[in-house]
Structure 1
């Protein structure tokens, strides 16, 4: 079995976030390469009106800036972009420059299927149907053998996929190659094998498809690109009188698709070291046929026996995911070649230290699509050498307060890494920083931990795998806070009842005291009034006016 550690690029191992898988892997790999070289990168991820999620980014060394969309940089001219996008105009340029390409003709939406069928007879079968504009192999139906199959293909592409503007080409027998050229040199070459299964005499076709999909899910380049059972697959099954529950003989290969595109379930096999000089020459000449097309991907049909090939199409924005993680063979470092071309002054940089850190692409992706940020500018990578450390804390309890304190300390001292609670109750803290910063942080970590937890024990462990840039709390704080709340629920209920009783008694006591105060004040007032009354009764004026008061009383 092939050693996967040697098969793939070591500087990409264990450093591809979830959002950087599949479609975004091409963009992420180039951004990561630029960032690790100390270049400044600004990223936008946009949800366009078409519904497509597209990444755009700029890279600068302070003197010059280049803008990119996926793998296409701004040194690819606008004219080259337009010409290669349209399959018919691309074909015309290739023919003009004597680059071998299949003969064919375009048919727009106004032309009927019957006219297309007539032209197919002139070309002679087998033929290929492909939409004039499109990517990812959508709607491309190859090796059409007769009129009946052509009618099926036309109905599927023009009616079901709603892609009525098509190109009809002569089918060329051979192997499907994807070749990537940078600055006049073939950097990577893949052989693309049609989606297929190999019978074992035991499992059904459906079971074999499921088994293969499990393998695809493990690759960052194919994790969301399973083999799908669509109308084309059902037609191919029908031709062989098979269905999904059929058990095919051991060793028999059954093709599930007619096209070799990887996104349609095909296998990617790296053949960079096996491509002949003649095939490489055709690929390079094809790119030179267009104005300012320094790098792109080319699809070719190659007859290895006769060492000939024809260029099917060119893609100025070709994805490089399969070159980075092929199903078979070795990965090819196309991101390095692209950054070398745009920023030659950063060539031959030592990767050993910078590869200890990688970008938090999940945060970038989610922030841009949620419109939290329009664009994100990455801070420059930490100075090297970078020391990786791992600390295990026991006899402690993970809390939000402690986690935030550690993160704040890491931020203040430019330390990367994370803090995370373990299932057994322990806490793990991983860090990456320069030696000086790492030592400062370790001292502070121990002081903080002992202030929070009386009997905490801290053990340093080894760490070799890369860590994400920045410092992160890898925990679901809502769950943790809820658990803390659940544990203290009973004491809180008792405290709440006690508090309620206390407040009730306090209110009653205040009422009694208020009544007593009023009664005491009334007694004093009565006493003073009695004194004043007695004084009036004993006065001379009161005695002299006694007859007058008697007459007034009588009149009442």
Structure 2
């Protein structure tokens, strides 16, 4: 196939996905541009509160306010924030607020402990067994017969689906999986449990109510009779880049995928027939290439009740995600996540988007439920810059203008000196107390969006274009109503302006990025060493040798030569 036809197919796929992507009216792709991964979740909840008039602050992980808050991972800025009303302040780590207890977080961080609590509450869970670092691979393989194939192997403390191997059908496959999970990934403590056939769902519960549910379809491609699996993955990834949630979760062509498709007689060079569905992994995590399909209204009440019962089984777990395998009217809970990502419900590949941030803020700040909400939003990257550059431990976001938002779209045709006219226009917008942007379109026209809370000012702004400007000739002004969200400030997207600005910022961003990477690398190394130390201290060998080490320390002190007086 020619490169031209290949690009045409790619564009058609992207346009199709883009047009069919159903977003919340107030939380669209434009609002989250450049916000990805777990920052997307944090931003969604924080923005919902800020739009209601709550005071919003962002923090680094070193902030005093979060010293007793359990967080996992390195967590660069954009994950920790607080929201305050006149009556209360609440702190959040991504989607998890401070009403979720530390005990709940600790229980859910250990998959085996989670199962114990769920079993005691009568919640269906898979039968299985835990093995620590003292258990050999041979011992685990022998125990597999007691549980019965097919099996699932997963770390006791893994996240985002890392190290989870499902539908293991033989001792040979189990042996390979153990090498991968325990040796290559470094998860020595694992759980082996029965494989439950069925479809997997992520259900999000807030205060005893199911707010959203979506089917997590495992990573897959659909053949067309022309492209190899390798090429189909590339095309699928182009489609995923259009979706704000999936853009940071592209399908990886790694050893795990290669091994899985080999089971079914495929390789990366195989060419599936038209319409043939080829699954690349058994696990369905969105972070591993899975597709979220909204299922909230279709989910049977009996399954929703299982999810609610599972959350209620953990003390202090007020809200969070429940992963359930569903087979008919039977639901088996496989995991609970108090800090669950919610992007799959905000940007499903099919179905209706669900407003989880609204439910969270309604619960934490009931006094704001009926408050008027602005359609403005802020630039998260700019707000977090002081935290990334380490010149502050916290930043406060300026409140949005109060009152109903009015907006207009103007399209100017004519000739005007790009940079000079844009800068003059920005000045006039700010003088009128407005927000918006100016963008040079492909045909040379200038698109201008303005928004504010004074309807008269918005209505009269058109007269600004009649003001004489050096070398500017405006032939025509088209005026339209604008009902989309508008970012605070006034951005300029002009070719010359962009080039000049990028030259200035590029070097600064490189320097900041370099320093940030060095600090992140150091933090990762420190965290890894800390985990290794904790594992060693929890091991049976460490506990058994405690008397010997204590004795050795005492002897060293006794025989240490004294310094001359």
TM-score per shorter chain, which class? 0.7 to 0.9
> Are the aligned partners of 2:90 and 2:98 in contact in 1 as well (CA < 8 Å)?
yes
CA distance in 1 between partners of 2:371 and 2:19 (Å) = 24
Point out where structure 1 has 5 or more consecutive residues left out of the alignment: 484-556
Give the match for residue 18 of structure 1. Answer: 33
> Does structure 1 residue 323 correspond to structure 2 residue 376?
no
> Does structure 1 residue 53 correspond to structure 2 residue 93?
no
Q: 1:39 to 1:204 in 2, by over 3 A?
A: same
Give the match for residue 210 of structure 2. Answer: 186
Q: Which shows bigger deviation, 25-34 or 398-407?
A: 398-407
| Cα deviation, residue 228, structure 1 | 1.3
> Does structure 1 residue 337 correspond to structure 2 residue 352?
no
Give the match for residue 396 of structure 2. Answer: 377
> Does structure 1 residue 461 correspond to structure 2 residue 461?
no
> Are the aligned partners of 1:125 and 1:171 in contact in 2 as well (CA < 8 Å)?
yes
If the length of structure 2 is used for normalisation, what is the TM-score? Answer: 0.77
Q: Which shows bigger deviation, 203-212 or 317-326?
A: 203-212
- In the alignment, which of 51, 75, 79 is matched to residue 103 of structure 2? 79
Give the length in aligned residue pairs: 476
Q: Which shows bigger deviation, 190-199 or 419-428?
A: 419-428
CA distance in 1 between partners of 2:109 and 2:269 (Å) = 41
Which one has a bigger Cα radius of gyration?
1
> Are the aligned partners of 1:179 and 1:190 in contact in 2 as well (CA < 8 Å)?
yes
Q: 1:230 to 1:467 in 2, by over 3 A?
A: same
> Does structure 1 residue 479 correspond to structure 2 residue 503?
no
Give the CA RMSD over aligned residues. Answer: 2.9
- In the alignment, which of 435, 451, 466 is matched to residue 416 of structure 1? 435
| Cα deviation, residue 59, structure 1 | 0.8
Q: 1:104 to 1:402 in 2, by over 3 A?
A: same
> Are the aligned partners of 1:391 and 1:458 in contact in 2 as well (CA < 8 Å)?
no
> Are the aligned partners of 1:409 and 1:441 in contact in 2 as well (CA < 8 Å)?
no
CA distance in 2 between partners of 1:2 and 1:479 (Å) = 31
If the length of structure 1 is used for normalisation, what is the TM-score? Answer: 0.79
Q: Which shows bigger deviation, 267-276 or 314-323?
A: 267-276
Point out where structure 2 has 5 or more consecutive residues left out of the alignment: 1-15, 63-70, 504-565
Q: Deviations over 1:219-268 (max 9, x none)?
A: 11101212111111111232233221112334433221121111111121
Q: 1:250 to 1:393 in 2, by over 3 A?
A: closer
Q: Deviations over 1:488-518 (max 9, x none)?
A: xxxxxxxxxxxxxxxxxxxxxxxxxxxxxxx
CA distance in 2 between partners of 1:180 and 1:398 (Å) = 52
- In the alignment, which of 203, 228, 232 is matched to residue 252 of structure 2? 228
> Does structure 1 residue 43 correspond to structure 2 residue 64?
no
Q: 1:458 to 1:252 in 2, by over 3 A?
A: closer
| Cα deviation, residue 328, structure 1 | 1.8
Q: Which shows bigger deviation, 407-416 or 462-471?
A: 407-416
- SS class of match (2:320): strand
- SS class of match (1:291): coil
Q: 1:410 to 1:376 in 2, by over 3 A?
A: farther
> Does structure 1 residue 313 correspond to structure 2 residue 335?
yes
CA distance in 1 between partners of 2:204 and 2:371 (Å) = 23
> Does structure 1 residue 142 correspond to structure 2 residue 142?
no
- SS class of match (1:93): helix
CA distance in 2 between partners of 1:229 and 1:321 (Å) = 23
Q: 1:114 to 1:418 in 2, by over 3 A?
A: same
> Are the aligned partners of 2:221 and 2:233 in contact in 1 as well (CA < 8 Å)?
yes
| Cα deviation, residue 51, structure 1 | 4.3
CA distance in 1 between partners of 2:386 and 2:410 (Å) = 30
CA distance in 2 between partners of 1:272 and 1:127 (Å) = 29
1:275-294 mapped onto 2 (5 Å cutoff):
275-294=299-318
| Cα deviation, residue 203, structure 1 | 2.6
Give the match for residue 379 of structure 2. Answer: 360
Give the match for residue 346 of structure 1. Answer: 368
| Cα deviation, residue 315, structure 1 | 0.4
